[in-house]
Amino acid sequence: MPRPHFDLIVRGGTLVSPRGRHEADLGLRAGRIVALGDLGDADAHELFDARGLHVLPGIIDSQVHMREPGLEHKEDLETGMLAAAAGGVTAVCEMPNTKPGTTTAAALADKVARVRGRAAVDFAFFAGAAADNVEQLAALETQEGCVGVKIFMGSSTGNLLVPDDASVRRVLRATQRRVAVHCEDEERLEERKALIGAGATALMHPVWRDEETAFKATRRLVALLEETDRRAHVLHVTTAEEMAFLAGKKRWASVEVTPQHLTLAAPDCYERLGSYAQMNPPIREARHREALWRGLADGTVDVIGSDHAPHTREEKERDYPNSPSGMPGVQTLVPIMLDHVAAGRLSLERFVALAAENPARLYGMRRKGRIEIGCDADLTIVDLEAEREIRNDWIRSRCAWTPFDGMKVRGWPRATVVRGRIVMREDEIVAPGSGRPIDFDLVAPRA
């Protein structure tokens, strides 16, 4: 009887899921996981020795801004996805606030066409809700490569804005899949803008865009979800007040936090980094960071997403508030969170739930987020004992900087496997251009 043959065998690693870990070999063929166990006598075109390493389901970054089309001087789809692969991320979901915004069928199809053959990782795109496209959203959310609809309740980078309850209600009633929402109250943002006086610095950012600006929008959203019996994913939650509120609203709202908000705190980050620490919603005081960690521990938080949003150094060094909000993050998501694992702030199993299984489940991604026979062969292979320093010269994003420059971490991605192909190995990209659109169930589960 012939021995089994695989495209790739990942040998002897410790496989990790939210339910535990165990040692086993993985046999990969035609882009899928086809065998799991002791594959000692099997043949393979390629072998990866994972002994001493941990094999995670492919990490999914479900909130990135890759800036193409229209803002390619900051980033483009190719450089952003190379950064993802370099950081151990196997799939990304890209936001719609490009130029033009991703608000039409043609704009969404254009993004999918642009990235074919250039994507180092798998990908999907959000359609942006706007005042003039509500009638198109039902068709847009079923289009190839679409992960769902994004609502900006408050103004941020770009010009997509759905600021009032009537418009948000129309979007919720027009769509079926879980919507992703940026919760900042536009009216309060406008009212408080006058607080920014001459000579202000980024220290004013969390004062202008204060806790109530975020919490008010989140309360409004949840009331509309209850009224329409719809589900939403509240992006980049930053306040203790929101976290306590959302803990009792899990039927309607899932919750995302970012590594930046879990790691940095005001005022230190603004004193040290200036506008390089500026993002929307802002990084806040340590009491809020502590509340995010409590929400992560008690199950309120569902997802870790990076909110990767690069700008050039020249742009970030403008005087506040003319400096743009956002920072790169897709490449540092895995090392930063592995360092938190090493420090005992969360388990590796919890990280896998937050960054692989949960985003796949909440958005209805087919065959993603799990190490099981039949699933896509997406793997993030990590060394939990590696001690490294995050440096700007490691960053593959076009902006070429990170707010974590100089940070020493314990835990590092050793390889990124996308649909059975090793894309990154030991910090080197070895198979660019192998990513494809993520497949979705047309209506994501409500749970």
- Among 2-6, 136-140, 285-289, 383-387, where is mean pLDDT lowest? 2-6
pLDDT band per the 50, 70, 90 thresholds, residue 4: confident
Same domain, 164 and 262: yes
Q: What is the mean pLDDT of the chain?
A: 96
Same domain, 148 and 193: yes
Same domain, 48 and 63: no
pLDDT at residue number 433 = 87
Same domain, 238 and 142: yes
CA atoms within 13 A on the CB side of 250: 11
**pLDDT tens, residue by residue, 341-361:** 999 999 999 999 999 999 999
Residue 2 has pLDDT above 80, yes or no: no
Question: How far is Cα 418 from Cα 431, in angstroms, rounded to an integer?
Answer: 9
Question: How far is Cα 118 from Cα 56, in angstroms, rounded to an integer?
Answer: 25
**pLDDT tens, residue by residue, 154-208:** 876 556 899 999 999 999 999 999 999 999 999 999 999 999 999 999 999 999 9
Q: Is the dihedral of CA 57, 61, 62, 67 positive or negative?
A: negative
Alpha-carbon Rg for the chain, nearest whole angstrom, is: 21
Question: How far is Cα 363 from Cα 215, in angstroms, rounded to an integer?
Answer: 24
**pLDDT tens, residue by residue, 295-311:** 999 999 999 999 999 99
pLDDT at residue number 443 = 61
Question: How far is Cα 403 from Cα 336, in angstroms, rounded to an integer?
Answer: 11
Contact between 228 and 253 under an 8 Å Cβ cutoff? The reply is no
pLDDT band per the 50, 70, 90 thresholds, residue 9: very high
Question: How far is Cα 285 from Cα 261, in angstroms, rounded to an integer?
Answer: 10
Contact between 315 and 68 under an 8 Å Cβ cutoff? The reply is no
Same domain, 309 and 381: no
Nearest alpha carbon to residue 57 among 260, 349, 283: 349
pLDDT at residue number 369 = 98
The answer to whether residue 440 is domain-embedded is no
307 is catalytic: yes
Q: What's the domain range around 418? A: 5-55+372-429
The answer to whether residue 445 is domain-embedded is no
Q: What is the dihedral of CA 171, 172, 176, 182, to 10 degrees?
A: 80
Catalytic residue among 25, 210, 307, 383: 307
Q: Is the dihedral of CA 256, 307, 239, 401 positive or negative?
A: positive
CATH of the domain at 227: 3.20.20.140
Contact between 285 and 265 under an 8 Å Cβ cutoff? The reply is yes
The answer to whether residue 337 is domain-embedded is yes
